[in-house]
């Protein structure tokens, strides 16, 4: 039996009231096991980004519970929540959110510095992470000198800075071309193999297809769940119309 890293019960976020009440997230029960990669898919406005923000403590739920690594986190004070965001959760965004005036390695070490690590330890960790995402040679470059795919890999390295129990990604390939998407998918796969727990919201079918579990979301609620693990069928030939 694997450990549950993330668990929500009746998670709800509403905006407005009366006639104009919007249920952005509507009673979501989600359990994510340690080491699992879960993709949440759905059309724009289905509530998947709001869900991610709630889970990551970027936003507060209207109702329901969130448990992260065995600890209830939806009622924490703003200060404790801020610390949790820095140390327990790593975020990857569609628009990368790198600081353009800092070098690549400075971006990656920033969360470790903010969490109170020594500059030396933070730099060592950042250098190791950049090596891991294949960008050791770009440590001293500014983000603006990198391609979109490289920037997203820097953002992933930064998300891992404090060894978070959970990495949350919001449309991580939304701004990337085919080749860069492949790079990011490979990186996620490596994280997955290293045991990292990942929750990715996306409308990119390629991410969805490579996750362990795919959840479809509509109007704030989960409507379908598919487990896609398993071996290959050896039917790639048929897909390229070599056969049949």
Partner 1 sequence: MQQEVVLALLAKEPSHGYQLRARLRQALGPVGEAMNAGQVYVVLTRLEKAGLVTTESPAPATAKDTADRKTYALTAKGQHRVAEWLTEVSWPKPDLAEFHLKLVAAAAAGLADPLSIVDTQRRELLRRLREAQRAAMAEPDGSDAALLLEGIVLRLQADLRWLEACERSWTTRRSAP
Q: What are phi and psi of 26, to 5 degrees?
A: -125, 85
Q: Of 191, 114, 190, 125, which is closest to residue 161 (Cα–Cα)?
A: 125
- Using the 8-state DSSP alphabet, how is residue 184 labeled? H
From the list 46, 169, 214, 215, which residue makes contact with partner 1 (rule: CB under 8 A)?
214
**Closest distance of CB 133 from partner 1, Å:** 15
Strand 22-33 vs strand 89-93: parallel, antiparallel, or unpaired?
unpaired
DSSP output for 38-56: EEEE--TTSSHHHHHHHHT
Separation of alpha carbons 31 and 116, rounded Å = 31
Binding flag, residue 147, partner 1 (CB under 8 A): no
From the list 85, 186, 192, 221, which residue makes contact with partner 1 (rule: CB under 8 A)?
186
Binding flag, residue 202, partner 1 (CB under 8 A): no
From the list 112, 185, 201, 215, which residue makes contact with partner 1 (rule: CB under 8 A)?
185
**Closest distance of CB 188 from partner 1, Å:** 10
Q: Of 217, 138, 17, which is closest to residue 155 (Cα–Cα)?
A: 138
Number of residues that bind partner 1 (CB under 8 A): 26
Given the rule CB under 8 A, which residues bind partner 1? 43, 178-179, 182, 185-186, 189, 205-206, 208-210, 214, 224, 226, 228, 230, 232-233, 235-236, 238-241, 244
């Amino acid at each position: 039996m694997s450990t549950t890293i993330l668990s929500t019960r009746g998670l709800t976020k509403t905006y407005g009231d009366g006639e104009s009440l919007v249920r952005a997230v509507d009673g979501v029960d989600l359990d994510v096991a340690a080491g699992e990669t879960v993709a949440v898919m759905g059309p724009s406005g289905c509530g998947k980004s709001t869900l991610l923000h709630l889970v990551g403590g970027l936003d507060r739920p209207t109702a329901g519970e969130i448990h992260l690594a065995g600890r209830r986190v939806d009622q924490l004070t703003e200060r404790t929540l801020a610390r949790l965001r820095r140390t327990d959760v790593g975020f990857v965004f569609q628009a990368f959110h790198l600081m353009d005036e800092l070098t690549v390695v400075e971006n990656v070490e920033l969360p470790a510095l903010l969490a109170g690590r020594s500059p030396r330890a933070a730099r060592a960790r950042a250098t190791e992470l950049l090596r891991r995402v294949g960008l050791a040679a770009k440590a001293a470059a500014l983000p603006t000198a990198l391609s979109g795919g490289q920037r997203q890999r820097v953002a992933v390295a930064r998300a891992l800075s404090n060894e978070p129990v959970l990495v949350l990604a919001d449309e991580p390939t939304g701004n990337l071309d085919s080749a860069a998407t492949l790079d990011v998918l490979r990186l996620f796969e490596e994280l997955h193999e290293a045991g990292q727990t990942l929750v990715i919201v996306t409308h990119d079918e390629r991410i969805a297809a490579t996750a362990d579990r795919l959840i479809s979301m509509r109007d704030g609620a989960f409507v379908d769940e598919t487990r896609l693990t398993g071996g290959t069928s050896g039917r790639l030939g048929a897909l390229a119309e070599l056969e049949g």
